[in-house]
Amino acid sequence: MKSQYLKTGIESINGRRDFLKLAGYGALGLIAGGYLPMFSPSAYGLTQQVSLNTTETVFKPDLDLTLVPQAEEVAILPGSPTRVWRYHATVNQGDSNRVVEIPESYLGPIINVRQGEKIRIRFKNDIPEKSIIHWHGLHVPAIMDGHPRYAVAQGRSYLYEFTVTNRAGTYWYHPHPHGRTGFQVYGGLAGLFLVSDEEELGAGLPENEFDIPLVIQDRTFDAHNQLVYMSRNRMARMTGFLGDRILVNGKPDFTLPVSTTAYRLRLLNGSNSRIYRLAWQDGRPLTIIATDGGLLEKPVQRQFAFLAPGERMELWADFSDNPVGYETGLISLPFDGAGTGRGRMMGTDAGLPLGAGFSVFKLKVSRKVNRSIELPQKLSEVTPVDLLNTAGLGHLREFYLTMGHMQWSINGRTFQMEDVTEDEIVKLGSKEIWEFNNTGGGMMRMMNMPHPIHLHGKQFRVVGRSGVRHDGYVDEGWKDTVLLMPGERVRILTEFSDYPGLFLYHCHNLEHEDMGMMRNYFVQK
């Protein structure tokens, strides 16, 4: 059991078997799921792409890394170290300062790149189950995107080579094997991938020690300081994993010491299923300067803001008016996590239910500096949504977030490795509006849940939200993940301008994703 981060292996026996069955995606698996593909994947040339990518090309990388997930022990709580899985990086070529380890954390190193750079990453799996890395938010060719069909066994490798075309922003990487993403991310496998560009460097934002990434996650530890995942209770899985301790950058009871000046705080919700409703403890408004796909056009202010799994949000936080010794912090305000008191209904085993209020991290002004920096009123070029011409875009694709047979699904379908239906095929070069609908067409209304919907391969714009009104969304800017509370519909606009092939869209509640609330879409040439 040494190589497993879990003491008991809990659901790993059964879960693993289910996964292997699915990964075979033979006729049996498809029929057992009750879904037959409307189109055979080979008709779209999908199958020949399934080959392990291991050969280097003539590609000349600016940065060449080896990235290896490994079992190890880290000191998280006082007493015994915690067994975790952690990404380790070695820089083979390029500037080694681009890869920054977070000491005493299970989190993977922060990878820093510039827009336009060529990156080669040699993924070598060293954990005792299949895995593959996905670059969340990055716009890369299908074969570089970490689709679960590319997952490799322990000892095997996968080679990534891509040019960074994204605008500056806080992106991240994590495993994506089907059925095991929640388990592997929970075990520690996640890291930040920060992109910078000219526009950002010219924006006048705090840099270096004043630019702080903060990865927010929740975990549960047993009496021996070991991570506890979730019980096999189907009800608990329907909710998703909820830990009873909040960790920031892999550390519990996190306190951030700051100086009397302005900071750029880059927040990532790296939790499996917990949604945060963030606010400052001292009542100052949140000043938001960026979302998933980078800087907003101009800063926006909110008293509080939701941050769902997978989402990023960057804050401008200025402490120049606060005395040394001043203390505040980021909190998560209570909210109705279900609309229906699901905490009780679902029999979750979490000590800290979804929608509970708590402190996320504390912040203490510990040093006086004379360094004043003004909040820029213009941050970047982002076309306002109301200026986007969305008329005449043809038919609307609708995706219903539904539940049936104790299983979350999208339009009544669950994930099958290469399954694509007609309404999941888009034309290369097309611009489309997709509507996600969480108004609960399912049989059991009382089990409606929030779902953060994520698209692989593309950043999109949120062009509409309707239904039950909730406050606290930051829909501005470029997004790759959008939260839908129960009763809501959201419309997104995206352009499939390049990169044909098979990409995923799914709920970023990782337990929902693992149970199949994920589908392929196919960009056809």
The partner in contact with residue 512, picked from ligand C2O, Cu ion, none with C-beta cut-offs of 5 to 8 angstroms by kind, is Cu ion
C-alpha 184 chain-centroid distance: 13
- Residues forming contacts to ligand C2O in the complex (CB under 6 A) are 134, 136, 174, 176, 310, 454, 456, 504, 506, 508
One-letter amino acid at 6 equals L
Least distance between ligand C2O and beta carbon 173 (Å): 9
Tokens 């790993």 -> residue: 12
Residues 6+ away with beta carbon under 8 Å from 81: 73, 74, 75, 225
Nearer to ligand C2O, 180 or 454 (CB): 454
How many residues does this entry show for the chain?
525
Out of 237, 456, 458, 506, the only residue in the binding site for Cu ion (CB under 5 A) is 456
CB atoms within 10 A of CB 383: 9
Interacting partner of 451 out of Cu ion, ligand C2O, none (Cβ under 5 to 8 A depending on kind): Cu ion
Structure tokens at 352: 């800290």
| 175 within 8 A of 69, measured Cβ to Cβ | yes
For ligand C2O, which is the closer residue by CB, 23 or 235? 23
State which residue, 136 or 489, has the beta carbon closest to ligand C2O: 136
Q: How far is the CB of 407 from ligand C2O (least distance, A)?
A: 19
Kindly tell me which of 227 and 504 has the beta carbon lying closer to ligand C2O.
504
Number of helices (H) and strands (E), helices first, in the chain? Answer: 7, 31
CB of 191 to ligand C2O, least distance (A): 12
Please check whether residue 437 is in contact with residue 447, taking contact to mean a CB–CB distance below 8 angstroms: no
Shortest distance, CB of residue 87 to ligand C2O, whole angstroms? 15
* Comparison of 139 and 219: residue with beta carbon closer to Cu ion: 139
Sequence letter at residue 237: R
Could you tell me the smallest distance in angstroms from the CB atom of residue 174 to ligand C2O?
6
CB-based closest residue to ligand C2O: 136
In the complex with ligand C2O, which residue's Cβ is closer, 133 or 305? Answer: 133
The entry of ligand C2O, Cu ion, none near residue 509 (CB within 5 to 8 angstroms by kind) is Cu ion
CB nearer to ligand C2O: give 240 or 339: 240
Residue 507 contact, options ligand C2O, Cu ion, none, Cβ 5-8 Å cut-off depending on partner type: Cu ion
Whole-number Å distance between alpha carbons of 313 and 83: 30
Shortest approach of ligand C2O to residue 170 CB, angstroms? 13
Contact partner at residue 453 from ligand C2O, Cu ion, none, CB < 5 to 8 Å by partner kind: none
Nearest residue to 516 (alpha-carbon basis) of 12, 25, 172: 25
Q: Which does 174 bind (CB under 5 to 8 A by kind): Cu ion, ligand C2O, none?
A: ligand C2O
Contact 374, 348 (CB under 8 A): no
451 near Cu ion (CB under 5 A): yes
Whole-angstrom Cα distance, residue 479 to residue 249? Answer: 23
Long-range contacts of 338-341 (CB under 8 A, 24+ apart): 338/448, 338/449, 338/486, 339/448, 339/468, 339/485, 339/486, 339/487, 340/445, 340/446, 340/447, 340/448, 340/486
Task: Measure the CA–CA gap between 30 and 45, rounded to whole angstroms.
Answer: 20
DSSP state of 420: -
Q: Which is nearer to ligand C2O, 250 or 299 (CB)?
A: 250
Under the criterion CB under 5 A, does residue 479 sit at the interface with Cu ion? Answer: no
Which one of ligand C2O, Cu ion, none interacts with residue 251, CB within 5 to 8 A by kind?
A: none
Q: How many residues make contact with Cu ion (CB under 5 A)?
A: 6
- Give the integer Cα–Cα distance in Å for 505 and 508: 9
Q: For residues 466-486, b (16+ Cβ closer than 10 Å) or e, as one string?
A: ebeebebbbbbbbbbbbbbbb
What minimum distance in Å lies between the beta carbon of 318 and Cu ion? 32
Amino acid sitting at position 277: R
- Under DSSP, the state recorded for 111 is E
Min dist CB 294 to ligand C2O, Å, is 17
Site for Cu ion in 73-132 (CB under 5 A): none
Closest approach of ligand C2O to the CB of residue 419, in Å: 16
Among Cu ion, ligand C2O, none, the one that 458 touches (CB under a kind-dependent 5 to 8 A) is none
SS3 letters across 76-108: CCCCCCEEEEEEEEEEEECCHHHEECCCCCCCC
139 sits near Cu ion (criterion: CB under 5 A): no
In terms of CB distance, is 350 or 507 closer to Cu ion?
507
Q: Which is nearer to ligand C2O, 181 or 448 (CB)?
A: 181
State the residues that interact with Cu ion by CB under 5 A: 136, 451, 456, 507, 509, 512
